[in-house]
Amino acid sequence: MASGSPDWLSRYRSGEDGAFEALVAQLGPRLLGYFLRQGAQPATAEDLAQQVFLRLLQHAHRYTERGNLDAYVLRIARNLWIDHQRRRRLATGTAAAAETADPGPGPAEEADRLDRGEAIRRALGELDAATRELLELAVLQRLPYQEVSGILGIPVGTVKSRVFYSLRRLRERVADFEGARSTRPA
Amino acid sequence: MSPERERPRADEPLPDPVEQRELLAFAEEVRRALPNPQLPERFLDGLVAARAPAWSWRSAWNRNPVLRVAAALLILFTATVPVLAVIHLVADRGGGLPPIGFELPPEIPPVEREEWHGEAVAPELPPETELLSPIWSIAVERENRLTQAAVAWHERYPAPMPLPPGARERLDGPWAAARAGWELRTGQRAADARRAAAEAEWSSASGPQLWSVLQERLAARWNAAPQPALEARVRELWARAGANGEDRGWLAGWMAILDGANAPGGAELPMIR
3-state secondary structure chain A: CCCCCCCHHHHHHCCCCCHHHHHHHHHHHHHHHHHHHHCCCHHHHHHHHHHHHHHHHHCHHHCCCCCCHHHHHHHHHHHHHHHHHHHHHHHHCCCHHHHCCCCCCCHHHHHHHCCHHHHHHHHHHHCCHHHHHHHHHHHHCCCCHHHHHHHHCCCHHHHHHHHHHHHHHHHHHHHHHHHHHHHCCC
Residues in chain B: 273
Residue A159 to residue A149: CA distance in whole angstroms: 6
Is pLDDT of A94 > 60? no
Across the interface, do A54 and B51 touch by the CB < 8 Å criterion? yes
Which three-class secondary structure state does DSSP give residue B128?
helix
Residue B21 to residue A95: CA distance in whole angstroms: 37
3-state secondary structure B5-49: HHCCCCCCCCCCHHHHHHHHHHHHHHHHHCCCCCCCHHHHHHHHH
Q: What is the pLDDT of residues B59-75, one digit of tens each?
A: 788 888 899 999 999 99
**What is the rounded end-to-end Cα distance, in angstroms, of chain B?**
155
* Contact criterion met (CB below 8 Å) for B1 and A151: no
**Confidence bin at B151 (pLDDT 50/70/90):** confident
Residue B165's pLDDT is what?
A: 55
* Contact criterion met (CB below 8 Å) for B256 and B269: yes
Residue B114 burial (CB count, 10 A): 4
Return the higher-pLDDT residue of A171 and B271: A171
Of A25, A49, A171, the CB nearest to B26: A171
Across the interface, do B36 and A116 touch by the CB < 8 Å criterion? no
Is pLDDT of B198 > 60? yes
Identify all chain B residues contacting A36, using CB atoms and an 8 Å cutoff: 37
How far B68 CA sits from the closest chain A CA (Å)?
25
Residue A182's pLDDT is what?
A: 66
Residue B12 to residue B188: CA distance in whole angstroms: 144
Q: Which residues contact B261 (CB under 8 A, 6 or more apart)?
A: B267
Is pLDDT of B2 > 50? no
Of A121, A161, A166, the CB nearest to B33: A121
Where is average pLDDT lowest: A3-7, A167-171, B170-174? B170-174
The ipTM estimated for the assembled molecules is 0.76
Residue B75's pLDDT is what?
A: 93
Residue B208's pLDDT is what?
A: 81
Q: What torsion, rounded to 10 degrees, do the Cα atoms B138, B143, B148, B150 define?
A: 150
Residue B4's pLDDT is what?
A: 44
Residue A46 to residue B131: CA distance in whole angstroms: 129
Residue A64 to residue A77: CA distance in whole angstroms: 18
48-87 in chain B: CB under 8 A from chain A = 50-51
Mean pLDDT of A122-133: 88
In Å, how far from its chain's centre is CA B208? 53
Q: How far is CA A77 from CA A70, B76, B242, in A?
A: 10, 49, 149
Across the interface, do B8 and A161 touch by the CB < 8 Å criterion? yes
Residue A21's pLDDT is what?
A: 86
**Looking at this protein, which amino acid is placed at residue A185?**
P
Phi and psi of B36, rounded to 5°?
Answer: -70, 140
Across the interface, do B30 and A57 touch by the CB < 8 Å criterion? no
Let me know if B147 is exposed, middle or buried by CB neighbors in 10 A (0-12, 13-18, 19+): middle
Q: Which of B27, B261, B71, B48 is nearest to B148 (CA)?
A: B261
The predicted model scores a pTM of: 0.47
Across the interface, do A36 and B37 touch by the CB < 8 Å criterion? yes
**Confidence bin at A122 (pLDDT 50/70/90):** confident
* Contact criterion met (CB below 8 Å) for A180 and A106: no
Residue of B nearest to A169 (CA): B6
Across the interface, do B43 and A28 touch by the CB < 8 Å criterion? yes
What is the per-residue burial (b if ≥16 Cβ within 10 Å, else e) of A30-44? Answer: bbbbbbbbbbbeeeb
Report percent pLDDT > 90 for chain B: 7
Is pLDDT of A24 > 60? yes
Identify all chain A residues contacting B30, using CB atoms and an 8 Å cutoff: 120, 124, 135, 139-140, 167, 170
* Interface check B30 vs A, CB under 8 A: yes
Q: How far is CA B226 from CA A180, B213, B249, B255, in A?
A: 157, 11, 19, 11
Of B6, B32, B35, the CB nearest to A169: B6
* Contact criterion met (CB below 8 Å) for B217 and B226: no
* Contact criterion met (CB below 8 Å) for B217 and B146: yes
Q: Which long-range contacts (CB under 8 A, 24 or more apart) does A107-114 make?
A: A107/A176, A107/A177, A107/A180, A108/A180, A108/A184, A111/A177, A111/A178, A111/A180, A111/A181, A111/A184, A112/A181, A112/A184, A114/A177, A114/A181
Report percent pLDDT > 90 for chain A: 22
Mean pLDDT of A104-121: 64
Residue A103's pLDDT is what?
A: 47
Q: Which of A48, A49, A2, A42 is nearest to A25 (CA)?
A: A49
